[in-house]
Chains A and B, each alone.
Chain A
Amino acid sequence: MQYLVSVIDDKTNSGTPSEMAAINAFNDRIRAEGHWVFAGGLAAPDTATVIDSRGGDPVFTDGPFLETKEYLAGFWVIEAPDLDVALKLAAEGSKHCNRRVEVRPFL
């Protein structure tokens, strides 16, 4: 079973060096434990481009599809047998990256 652990941010600066070190150590651990699928940090929302091809030709819009105070700053995709394990990993992830996180199961 895979879960998306989204990192919720409301600041403009990205992770500090000590946060990054803690995240890297956590990532190494979940790799060793077999929970790692993928993870990454994302550039600020104002670097986003929204594309809409529903009308045939793509229409490009500069900026994110939602203008909000809080945004997705990064994510983990983890492998876990059930929500208890996923919540435990997410709780540690939240501590290491010093941000709130949201857990959602993949279908």
Chain B
Amino acid sequence: MSVDDVREAVTRAHHEQWARVVAALTRRFGDLDIAEEAAAEAFATAVERWPGDGVPPNPGAWLTMTATRKAIDRIRRENKRDDKQREAQMVNADPPEPLGVIDDERLRLIFTCCHPALAIQTRMALTLRMVGGLTVPEIARAFLVTATAMEQRITRAKTKIKAARIPYRVPSAQDLPARVSGVLAVLFLVFNEGYLATGPDTDPVRHELTAEAIRLTRLIRALMPDDGEVAGLLALMLLIEARRTARVSASGELVPLDEQDRGAWDATLIAEGHRLVRERLASGVAPGRYQILAAINAVHTSARDVRDTDWSQVVALYDQLVRLDPSPIIALNRAVAVAELDGPEVALATVDRLGNSLAGYHAHHATRADLLRRLDRGQESRAAYDRAIELAGNTAETAYLIRRRDQLR
């Protein structure tokens, strides 16, 4: 086996097995910190040993066994200092669970990392570390903080989980819908942070975050195949991700939906997204917000040319969404579709009404600027572009807004 083959086997094992190993060890030892450290050591051992010894026939079992040994070594070391802790840890040292419930363990891990008693930023970081297997420096880079700060945030979270006894389990049926939507919110935030990366010195799209969010959502979809919102979020991410390369020009400028080269969209991702949306429609169950957002994106990605877009369908879906979520941001997005259906003047009236609640939101000013431009109100449009440029945090979007402003007559 070549060096490249071994490297690929390690990478694949990391993708497929990291969460399983961490979850299995957390279950056994009742301690996220021990599980995380032992899993990391087991993967380091694989990198060291597999090139010489060969890739084991069952990498998952090898990694879990190696990590378990590392964990026991650490507990022995620490027990010399603290006998009381040993008692606590021995209580949790059940015999390994039979195969088949392992998937449940990964779910436990996800629900623990996304627990509502943790700050939302912490939930994102912890999920990427424990479930996604990203390293602390990788996560720190993604959130534009120092590795030390990220390490402290994760350490503090692990301490709180242990000291406050945040449970390691799948929530009860009664709490499940709220907790699942909490998990999905975390994953969508991770995705958006990749898709609309903020900060002056970052790439406009950080593919590693969008890819990771999709991978984790696929995992949850595999674990909870009957949940409509999980399917909806996955479809939504796929349909947005499909347009990723068409969305930023070669010069690093944002390309809006109506100007994108639709031939550059990823047909495979679109097909998968459409399949999920159809599956949800066929279920006959009233859709939640992610399913409606996915359906809206399905309408857009069904049009070969922007002029073929079924805007009345888009507006109807937004109407449905407004009933679920009457937030001003949804109303703003609805107005964008209304402009195509009923003209910019009608849309502008709505957008102006949202001015108070969205005064600090760049997209509100960008939308207004575009509508004013289409109504030949150049001076007002320019002022709105100015405000949007001031507030926009994404480099590609800023470049686009500046060009549009400078094209005004």
Contacts and interface: CB of A to CB of B under 8 A. Distances in A.
B163 A84 contact: no
A84 B179 CA distance: 11
Interface in A87-103: 87, 103
Interface residues of B, number: 10
A87 B165 contact: no
Contacts of B116: 87
B165 A82 contact: yes
A84 B164 contact: no
- Chain A binding surface SS class: mixed
A87 B167 contact: no
B164 A105 contact: yes
Interface residues of A, number: 12
Interface in A60-107: 81-84, 86-87, 103-105, 107
A81 to B, nearest CB: 8
A25 interface: no
B72 interface: no
B267 interface: no
B166 interface: yes
Contacts of B115: 83
Interface string B139-172: 0000000000000000000000001111100010
B117 A87 contact: yes
A48 interface: no
Contacts of A86: 164
Nearest to B166: A83
Given A81-B167, A83-B117, A86-B164, 20 more contacts: A1-B165, A3-B164, A82-B165, A82-B166, A82-B167, A83-B115, A83-B164, A83-B165, A83-B166, A83-B167, A84-B166, A84-B167, A84-B171, A84-B175, A87-B116, A87-B117, A103-B164, A104-B164, A105-B164, A107-B163
